Amino acid sequence: MQLRGKLTAGPVGHVVRTPRAVVPRVALSTASQASRHVSRRHLLFLSTLSAAGHHANANAAYVEEVQEVKQEQPGPTQPSTSGAPEQNQYVNPPTYLTTTGRVVAVGDLHGDWAKAIEAFKVAGCIRVKDDNEIVWIGGDTIVVQLGDVLDRGDNEIAIVRLLRALDAEARNHGGAVYMLNGNHESLNICGDFRYVTPGAFMESAAFAGLDEREFKDWELLARVRYAVYKPGGPMAMELSKNPTVLVINDTAFAHGGLLPVHVAYGLEKLNSEVASWMRADRSGESGTAAPPFLAMGDAQSVMWNRTYSKERYPSPHERFHACNSLKQALGRINAKRLVVGHTPQLGGANCECDGGVWRIDVGMSYGVLNRPVQVLEIVKDLVSNESTVRIISNESQLSVDLEEAASVDL
């Protein structure tokens, strides 16, 4: 998924052809319920999105016949849907990185384009020029977006493309932008569209080449979205590039949480298995790779875990066990802290367990709490080898030295 031309501060899209799909009932019912008012402004955006690449008339007949087209033209942005892609067509996401530059973490964005732009501006990583061109000014900064770009907002694909374009610009200066996979990415790949907005259904339809006149056919929109996001589909292939867990220097990043059992299983193995599932890689006699349970299977998985995210633990006993679990998990990977999203913090971004975990989902997107943007900055002193962590907000700045974190009442 490549962005050509200059990067501008408005949602952009890319068109691919999509195969016919068998859509789960939840997708069809969600789409039919989504027929409430959508702004004219968003429809105008979708019309430009649809024209932003090789336009295809994705009506019902097209959806039926495009399978053959996809088989004839497999590629990184148009993966074959006749089976799984070649095993080495996509590289597995990274797990362990080191850097001498600063690291910035951005929480859940949930399809909110304006908050995505604002988060990067607050972090000091971009500047928006008078003509709306976006310029990377973050130098060698590494940005980690903690997942949940999808659902609850209208501009999901646009934000994924923004993150990819910023990553390309950042790498020219020694930096990078990473997106993690969260539970809402996994929900969409599973075909669970209960949190998808009408605008996001339209965005994925425009991405697939549907004409605006076809947006009233909600069953077609659901089928097309399923084709776009199902394992092996173009957006699933794109999301397969994302880590589920990322460790940079002495800081671990995960959407929901990181338990000792996850570390014992192997973080690289978890990342690889999530990527294989999203790509629909071949897996022995069973057909294609199964969704990895430890990564996204239940409330204890990496993507769904909330063990470390309670702003007020019910008892000192529960807090002790949570912090002890965190200590064990971090100790096994030689990390000093974990940064998570997933659970909106009503009091704003904060830390717990003596600075061992930082919770930075502040519900900033308009589909959640529409709260002020806050991001986390981690700067490592190359002389002392110690890190300073601070929360940066568009309202104020809070600097918390890790040596004092134990005394901070959050």
**Residues catalogued as catalytic:** 184
What is the distance between the alpha carbons of residues 140 and 201, in angstroms, rounded to a whole number? 36
What is the distance between the alpha carbons of residues 205 and 222, in angstroms, rounded to a whole number? 9
What is the distance between the alpha carbons of residues 158 and 287, in angstroms, rounded to a whole number? 32
Burial profile 57-70: b = 16 or more Cβ within 10 angstroms, e = fewer: ebeeebbeebbeeb
Q: Which residues contact 404 (CB under 8 A, 6 or more apart)?
A: none
What is the distance between the alpha carbons of residues 221 and 196, in angstroms, rounded to a whole number? 11
Q: Which residues contact 246 (CB under 8 A, 6 or more apart)?
A: 93, 94, 95, 97, 144, 178, 180, 252, 253, 254
Two structure tokens written together for 147: 């997942």
| DSSP for residue 294 | H
